[in-house]
Chain A
């Protein structure tokens, strides 16, 4: 249906935003790309008193590398994640995730900050930043604070963001020669929200042993789900058919997926196991994959 009556104001700097938020009170919301927020207005799932459009705040834009950290501004659009050379070089997981997020016209507007702030349990980017062990940079009138991505998400559509705070950027540790990163998912229609998905980040030593592993599933719980048992099943072992099978087996205790429109918990568990095999096999040398 049509959107509810609401106010709108564009703010051009962070200082202007803090003043505006103080004056407007808690019923006002922040508008970035709007690709989820505006759809919720159509369903009347939210009826904000007004929207503050932050899309022209220059301080929230841009992708840069400093030392071993890749900083991605909150207003970076999904299409930009998919085409930015710094993202491709230093956080290939995010470059691989971009084409999986909705459709081209949505990717041209939707932003990484907006997706993380929404914390949809079936969305790709929350799982990616948790898998990458990224840091969420949160800004408010009082300054900046940094929160590890795993602590930032607090359940279904719920985050550590407090009233008066916004996401300013995401800081990602840059990939090394040992990094292996990929994302896989199963959807009903290309670009739809995932029935189940997996963002996998491993560090593999020169001798083939897995040094660290973070397997983070989406669409199978209330948020980005870290599979501690499956991840641990890989560490200290060579990545091969046996360790992959061990990770798949450990998933049974890691995941407790609720049923949804797509199917019951057992279907979700099955999909998670299949995706685990696909993701980890993609890290094997071609000869081993064929075997």
Chain B
């Protein structure tokens, strides 16, 4: 079996072709090959959520995805979500609520929380906590993170109502 695989995929909308070592996961590919260091490497066994990115529209653990398996896939990272403006209000709420302390978990938190904004616009605090339960914050700043997500949901609902 091959130990190197040629893959072509899109990353944040840009077409990328590389020959990758079959043993590397998506996060080492993004960070090492493409220089996209927003998604963080942490536990590397699927527990902490710091490496959360999107593959084909779904939030996934980047450390539990083989880079070699991504031929034809569409990957979005926190860099892409930031540039597109999709979660600008959420990011501003994180700043306003001081929801990033050391900041290590923040990219994963944002990608995970972005799903709540689209899938559960009326989520309660309890539901927000449940949805981000797979993302660790070792500063234990969860209260502020839930505040920031809740503020964003409330603001979006208010804007929707005015419109």
Q: Residues on A close to B: CB < 8 A?
A: 1-10, 24, 28, 31, 34-35, 38-39, 42-43, 49-51, 53, 55, 79, 102-106, 108-109, 189-191
Cβ of B143 under 8 Å from chain A: no
**Which residues of B120-163 are within 8 A (CB) of A?**
129-131, 133-135
A80 to chain B, nearest CB (A): 11
Give the residue of A1, A8, A38, A43 whose beta carbon is less than 8 angstroms from that of B64: A38
Give the residue of A28, A39, A190 whose beta carbon is less than 8 angstroms from that of B45: A39
Shortest beta-carbon contacts, A-B, top 5 = A103-B134, A7-B1, A50-B1, A8-B22, A108-B58
Of A31, A49, A104, the most chain B CB neighbours within 10 A belong to A104
A255 to chain B, nearest CB (A): 28
A103 contacts across to B, CB distance below 8 A: 49, 133-135
**On chain B, which size bracket covers the interface?**
20 to 34
Q: How far is the CA of A3 from the CA of B129 in the complex (A)?
A: 31
A24 contacts across to B, CB distance below 8 A: 1
For the A-B complex, the count of residue pairs with Cβ-Cβ distances under 8 Å equals 100
Of B25, B66, B129, B131, the most chain A CB neighbours within 10 A belong to B66
Q: How far is the CA of A28 from the CA of B22 in the complex (A)?
A: 14
Please judge, given known A-B contacts A2-B23, A104-B112, A105-B52, whether A49 and B1 are in contact too, CB under 8 Å: yes
B52 contacts across to A, CB distance below 8 A: 105
Q: How far is the CA of A206 from the CA of B133 in the complex (A)?
A: 41
Say whether A105 contacts B112, CB under 8 Å: yes
Chain B binding surface SS class: mixed
Q: Can you list 9 A-B contacts with CB-CB less than 8 angstroms, sorted by A residue number?
A: A2-B23, A2-B44, A7-B1, A7-B2, A9-B2, A35-B61, A39-B64, A55-B69, A105-B58
B46 to chain A, nearest CB (A): 5
Say whether B66 contacts A38, CB under 8 Å: yes
Give the residue of A3, A106, A190 whose beta carbon is less than 8 angstroms from that of B46: A106
Q: Whose C-beta in chain A lies nearest to the C-beta of B130?
A: A190
A283 to chain B, nearest CB (A): 24
- Chain B 39-58, CB-CB to A under 8 Å as 1, else 0, gives 00000111001001000001
- Chain B 71-89, CB-CB to A under 8 Å as 1, else 0, gives 1000000000000000000
Q: Whose C-beta in chain A lies nearest to the C-beta of B62?
A: A105
Say whether B66 contacts A5, CB under 8 Å: no
A21 to chain B, nearest CB (A): 11
Say whether A42 contacts B23, CB under 8 Å: no
Say whether A43 contacts B59, CB under 8 Å: no
Cβ of B110 under 8 Å from chain A: no
Say whether B46 contacts A39, CB under 8 Å: yes
B11 contacts across to A, CB distance below 8 A: none
Say whether B46 contacts A104, CB under 8 Å: no
Give the residue of B22, B59, B115, B130 whose beta carbon is less than 8 angstroms from that of A7: B22
Q: How far is the CA of A1 from the CA of B58 in the complex (A)?
A: 25
Given contacts A6-B23, A51-B66, 13 further A-B contacts (CB under 8 A): A6-B1, A6-B22, A8-B22, A8-B66, A8-B69, A28-B1, A34-B66, A38-B25, A38-B66, A55-B69, A104-B115, A106-B46, A108-B59
